[in-house]
Amino acid sequence: MKHPQTQNRRTALHLKDADPDKFRTFGRAKGRPLSATQASLYGELYPALKVDCSKMGAPLSGLERFKETWFEIGFGGAEHLIWQARHNPQAAIIGAEPFEPGVAKALSAVRDYDLKNVRLQHGDARDVLSALPRESLDKVFVLFPDPWPKPKHHKRRLINDAFLKDIHRVLKAGGEFRFGSDIIHYVDWTLTRVHKHGGFHWQPKSQQDWRVRGDDWPETRYLAKALREGRTGHFFHFKKSVPQKRG
Ligand SMILES: C[S@@+](CC[C@H](N)C(=O)[O-])C[C@H]1O[C@@H](n2cnc3c(N)ncnc32)[C@H](O)[C@@H]1O
């Protein structure tokens, strides 16, 4: 049965191509009205960067010249997305985010740094995931997803069995699923589901493995706030298991 609240909000957001049976996993989609500059970037730059989800494989069109393809799901204020794009010109980076001001920030940075390797989806990342072919990505980032702390909202958490199955499907063998959270219950939740899935490899040598962010994982505004408020970041690098050769 369709969840009535999800359905109404989706209609209001014009996320028409999303499956209305999926629970909404994000909070606000609108912030303050866009400035004139931001609105013009939406009109002029966004159409050129917009990810096509209309058919299987379409999100990758035009990205063939890049050595790798990465996908950041829920990029928030785009700090991490833009940092990765600037430091990794060999990788095409697709970012999906329903929060309009976040997409506006990404568009401004793409213009300011003249980035050629960013593609954007203003909307639900799961629509991009569904249109990505099997074994097409080198890295997927799900960093500090909305925690939905109340038990009645846990069903809205982005990480669930179906989502992990999709991430596993689109990753190449040996590809990385990077996950972070400052909410210990969400860390446990994710580790339980990753373990249950069975297709990811994670064998930490010490606590440093998940306590240290690492040089290629920039801090975002969200993480800085969490740290200021006394929470701790947990940083995970799950690898898609490589099939064993027979004989
Ligand atoms: C807590 S914020 C973290 C933002 C960013 N990843 C960071 O670490 O700073 C979670 C973000 O995920 C986005 N989000 C939630 N569900 C999503 C979905 N289905 N597709 C894309 N983004 C989603 C939210 O809009 C929000 O911006």
Query: Does 14 score more than 60 pLDDT?
Result: no
Query: What integer pLDDT is reported at residue 11 of this predicted model?
Result: 35
Q: Is 146 a catalytic residue?
A: yes
- Active-site residue among 21, 138, 146, 215? 146
Query: Does 78 score more than 90 pLDDT?
Result: yes
Nearest to 137 by CA among 225, 180, 79, 73: 73
Sheet holding 118-122, edge to edge: 118-122, 91-97, 68-73, 137-143, 171-181, 234-240, 200-201
Tokens 């064993």 sit at which residue? 244
pTM higher than 0.75, yes or no? yes
77-87: average pLDDT: 98
For 60, half-sphere exposure in the C-beta direction (CA atoms, 13 angstrom radius) is 21
208-235: average pLDDT: 97
Query: Does 2 score more than 50 pLDDT?
Result: no
Nearest to 237 by CA among 141, 148, 114: 141
Q: How far is the CA of 205 from the centre of ligand 1 (A)?
A: 29
Query: What integer pLDDT is reported at residue 20 of this predicted model?
Result: 47
Query: Does 144 score more than 50 pLDDT?
Result: yes
Query: Does 203 score more than 50 pLDDT?
Result: yes
Query: What integer pLDDT is reported at residue 1 of this predicted model?
Result: 32
* pLDDT tens string 173-193: 999 999 999 999 999 999 999
* pLDDT tens string 28-50: 899 888 999 999 999 999 999 99
Residues in CB range of 123: below 8 A, 6 or more apart: 15, 17, 18, 96, 98
Residue nearest to atom 11 of ligand 1 (CA): 74
Please give all residues whose beta carbon lies within 6 A of any atom in ligand 1, as ranges: 25-26, 73-76, 96-99, 102, 124-126, 143-146, 158, 220, 222-223
Q: How far is the CA of 73 from the centre of ligand 1 (A)?
A: 7
Q: Which domains does the chain have, with CATH numbers?
A: 28-240 (3.40.50.150)
Query: What integer pLDDT is reported at residue 247 of this predicted model?
Result: 64
Structure tokens at 70: 């990465």
